[in-house]
Copies of this chain bind each other. A is one copy, B any other.
Amino acid sequence: MQRYFVPRDNWRDDRVIITGEDAKHILRVMRMQDGDQIICSDNGGRTSLCEIVELGGNIVEVQVVKDVETQAEMPVFVTIAQGLPKGDKLEYIVQKGTELGAVSFFPFAADRSVVKWDEKKAVKKQERLEKIAKEAAEQSHRSRVPEIQKPGSFSDLLKMAEQYNIKIVAFEEEAKQRESSRFASVLNSASREDSILCVIGPEGGISEKEAISLREHGFVLCGLGPRILRTETAPLYMLSAISYHFELKG
């Protein structure tokens, strides 16, 4: 069944008003009618089966039939701090990372980032990433849309890291040296509700200087297996492994 995230403000008890893109999608793309059903989430924990009671112009009004339990969120809160990669890789990381359960994305300008975040295009770019995250969250049946944070510097990353009790860095050099136990050890030391910060470098990985500084700030440098992963593959590996560890391994 089609799912939509509707801002909390558009909920009045058991009535939900849908406007904008989502209303257009319901009316023009799905061609829905009175009585058709959809799932609405308020991005704050409430997810409800709803029935269309009124549509007109670009507004759709739905009535909650019943609240539904959805537990599609990870038991730990994973933020992906991604060194700015080339091209549209960031969009790809946000889409796949949302499917795989990340709650937040923080792009940062790393030593080896060749692209710079264009301040002129920053707002448009952020909106685009937020749209990708919303759609991926709807498609993967999540009850929460991940946050896209404003891109920052390496020192912004260090500041932000203070809020996290578990801090991991994917470090290629460790992989080359066959480091293979730290990632699992860290996950074993974590408990439900923990906030985990995963740092991934851009193409070429994080620099030696960044690695030293991150270690000094309490990050654990981890290898992700013997194969060298691309910058856009490493976050997916980390999220999949974290899901397997906490959601499947039991």
Contacts and interface: CB of A to CB of B under 8 A. Distances in A.
Contacts of A49: none
A167 interface: no
A209 interface: no
A197 to B, nearest CB: 19
A243 B244 CA distance: 11
A160 interface: no
A24 B169 CA distance: 37
Contacts of A237: 100, 236, 240, 243-244
Interface string A227-250: 111100100110011011101111
A96 B249 CA distance: 23
A141 B100 contact: no
A184 interface: yes
B244 A248 contact: no
A1 B223 CA distance: 19
Contacts of A223: 248
B241 A244 contact: yes
Contacts of A141: 226-228
B140 A228 contact: yes
Given A100-B227, A243-B237, A180 B248 contact: yes
A84 to B, nearest CB: 20
A212 interface: no
B244 A245 contact: yes
A248 B241 contact: yes
A57 B109 CA distance: 43
Given A233-B96, A236-B236, A244-B244, A181 B250 contact: yes
A83 interface: no
A134 interface: no
A191 interface: no
B180 A229 contact: no
29 contacts: A72-B226, A96-B233, A96-B236, A99-B227, A99-B228, A99-B229, A99-B230, A100-B227, A100-B229, A100-B233, A100-B237, A101-B227, A139-B228, A140-B228, A140-B229, A180-B247, A180-B250, A181-B248, A181-B250, A183-B244, A184-B249, A224-B248, A225-B244, A225-B247, A236-B240, A237-B240, A237-B243, A237-B244, A240-B244
Given A100-B227, A184-B244, 11 more contacts: A71-B226, A141-B227, A181-B248, A181-B250, A183-B244, A184-B249, A224-B248, A233-B236, A237-B243, A240-B244, A241-B248
